[in-house]
Structure 1
Amino acid sequence: MDDATGSYKKGQAFLIVASANRENGISTNVFYSKPFLYSEDPDIVAEMSNWKKNDLVSAKGVITTLNANKGTICAHCHEKSSRPGEVSLITPIYIETRYTGLEEKEATRILNEKREISNQVYLLGSLCDDVNGRKESTIYKDIISQSSYKGIAAYQIAVDRKYYLKQDVPTNRTDYPHIISVGAKAEQDLKCIHKGSMVLVDGMVVTREFRRTVTCPHCGKQFDWPEKVLEVLTFGTEYLADFMTPEEYDKLQAEKLQAIKNDIFTSSAE
């Protein structure tokens, strides 16, 4: 709080957002995520200072990635330490309080009714590296039906930052959100896009927690520490530049296979 004005300098809050399973249309199944909002904009902070638990609010913002030191406490010697890491959060550029003074049950009911508009993300950027394919079968199982769950494609994109962020270095003008696609979408991403491809992502924010093994710099022992991550799960991705169509990919693979066969037969003939 500013001692001179009595107003808050920073505003932060965890929001609960709801999403439906688009694989099955308007699903009665609802998936919840808990993104972190942070702002130092005076008008935004003033509005956030009025928020109470179970209020329903609207927020328009951008996904921000920051380099930050993350603190840990050793499970063995109980000493504190920190290590470099990345923090992903939402920087709001507009917020509005829609409902206030609600009980949790009523707030949840209204949020569920608005699940189709509760969690929407649009990102335009270029891939920082090639797509990484993974065969994980449990992450996001509450969102994606298991029948279409054939694997995950993961990649990071560079998104130009079109705003000034007080809490970051002024020369940092790019954010690097993590993108996840699943099933048939993942298979197509693995075929069609690569480092440098420009994409337009339509998706939703998902947050999850996992255990990371770290080594204590004081006693040298390893221990597990909870890590939170914010990602964007795609509903659809439009390929804009420097990509391959599925047909071009299949043709290229066929040509590579034929070249291998030719080498084998040529070597056998010699």
Structure 2
Amino acid sequence: MANAHAVCNDIRTYRCGRRIRAMARWDEVTLYGQLAEAPLAYRAQQTEDGELLRVIAKLTVLRGIRKFGAYDQRQKLDVLSVMSGVEKDMKEMLKWDQGDMVLVRGQLITQNHAKHCRCEYCGHVQAYPGYTAYINPIFVYKIKSGYDPEKGLIDLRRWKEVSNRITAVGTATADPSTHLHETSGTWISSYKLKIDRKVRVREDAEENHCDFPVVKSYGDNAVMDHDLIRAGSLVLLDGMLQSRTYDRQFTCEACGATFRAKDYVVEIVPYSTEYLKDCGDVKDYDVEKAKARLLDQVQQMAEDDIFGNAPES
């Protein structure tokens, strides 16, 4: 009997492992949005007769109303880029115009590149590492034409549950960074996720097989991520894409002054997270006790900074 139980456990472990491996390549985005402007076409010679290389469209999408931990849970609009180099999709996208309502299915792609900022004191322009995120479509379709922004928003509210959705499986590249928002008191965790691509992206280098978006979780989700995710953890995310511009602090390479400049990012915000492999134990996890413990740690760190009790590094 003991051997039979052992065999059953081995079978369950094997099947579970197969399911996890099968899910390890998963990155699916659904957008229903309004075109903020007519799509841009990029051609080899930038002439009407030049070979069409890629088409880029910017979609205004609406977040669904979900409790995902953020202090401000009002419906918000995000502007996301859709880019394709596939002929059939490019031809379809070139039929679109400003105000059209379109449905897109695809995958989230990230590309590392150098961003630039200008020192407000001496005018020096310097580069810093960043990434661009866009949706590589596998399906595009125009639903309605020529809506003004007000009519478009009414339509987006009808489609809000599918206007901005992403489901992805990936591996955390490092332990999450967690902090308490100074005004709202909301816990926020962030980490970078490595997502293996299921298909090759024509517009990207052939050797690129992975994407590395930033994940930002809020509230109870953030506390659980802090405790349960570490470098190498495999997770399944069900959430939305957040686009935002924020002030970022820089130190000028030329004059040494500290200045702030605008930066733009696209992040995954999970409604829920499934901790699949190499994560902390979810069983009997008490998020309220975890929040109290985390708050004690933050307060202790603040006291150490004030009174000089921090250990020597």
SS of residue paired to 2:223: helix
**TM-score, length basis structure 2:** 0.68
Change (3 A) 1:6 1:169: closer
Change (3 A) 1:47 1:220: farther
Shift of the 116–209 alpha-carbon distance from structure 1 to 2, 3 Å rule, reads same
Residue 265 of structure 2 corresponds to: 229
Contact 1:8–1:46 (CA under 8 A) maintained in structure 2: no
Q: Work out whether residues 60 and 93 of structure 1, in 8 Å CA contact, stay in contact via their aligned partners in 2.
A: yes
TM-superposed CA distance for 1:73, in Å, is: 4.1
- Which whole-Å CA distance do the structure 2 matches of 1:191 and 1:247 have between them? 13
Q: SS at 1:38's partner residue?
A: strand
Residues 139-178 of structure 1 mapped to structure 2, 5 A cutoff = 150-178=186-214
SS of aligned partner of 1:10: strand
Aligned pair partner of 2:93 in 22, 39, 48: 48
- Shift of residue 79, structure 1, vs aligned partner: 5.7
Q: Which amino acid aligns with 2:227?
A: K
Task: Say yes or no: does 1:61 pair with 2:106.
Answer: yes
Corresponding residue for 2:57?
Answer: 13
Match of 2:141 among 96, 115, 134: 96
Hey, what's the Cα distance between the residues in 1 that align with 2:182 and 2:102? 33
> 2:77 aligns to what?
32
- SS of residue in 2 equivalent to 1:51: coil
The answer for the alignment partner of 1:115 in structure 2 is: 160
Residue 205 (structure 1) aligns with: 241
Q: Equivalents in 1 of 2:282, 2:229: separation in Å?
A: 10
User: CA separation in 2, counterparts of 1:216 and 1:43?
Assistant: 46
Partner residue of 1:134 out of 179, 182, 189? 179
Aligned residues: 239
What secondary structure, in the 3-state scheme, does the structure 2 residue paired with 1:111 have?
Answer: helix
CA contact 1:159–1:176 (8 Å) conserved in 2 = yes
Q: Contact (CA 8 Å) 1:180, 1:231: kept in 2 or not?
A: yes
Q: Cα distance, 1:238 vs. partner?
A: 0.9
**3-state SS of paired residue (2:199):** coil
Cα distance, 1:14 vs structure 2: 1.8
Question: 1:155–1:180: 8 Å Cα contact kept in structure 2?
Answer: yes
2:169 matched residue in structure 1: 124
Is 188-197 or 7-16 further displaced after alignment? 7-16
**1:17-74 CA-partner distances (Å, limit 9, x unpaired):** 10132129xxx94211111222222222222222212111111111111111223344
The answer to whether the 8 Å contact 1:30/1:115 transfers is no
SS at match of 1:129: coil
For structure 2, the residue ranges without an aligned partner over 5 or more in a row are: 1-42, 290-313
CA-to-partner distance for each residue in 1:79-109, whole Å, 9 max, x for gaps?
A: 6554432222222222111111222221111
The answer for unaligned runs of 5 or more in structure 1 is 139-145, 254-270
Counterpart contact for 1:126–1:158, Cα < 8 Å:
yes
Identity across aligned pairs (percent)?
Answer: 28
Structure 2: which amino acid aligns with 1:226? Answer: K
The two structures have a TM-score, normalised by structure 1, of: 0.78
What displacement does 1:224 show? 2.6
Distance 2:182 2:108 in 1: 26
- In 2, Cα distance between equivalents of 1:205 and 1:121: 7
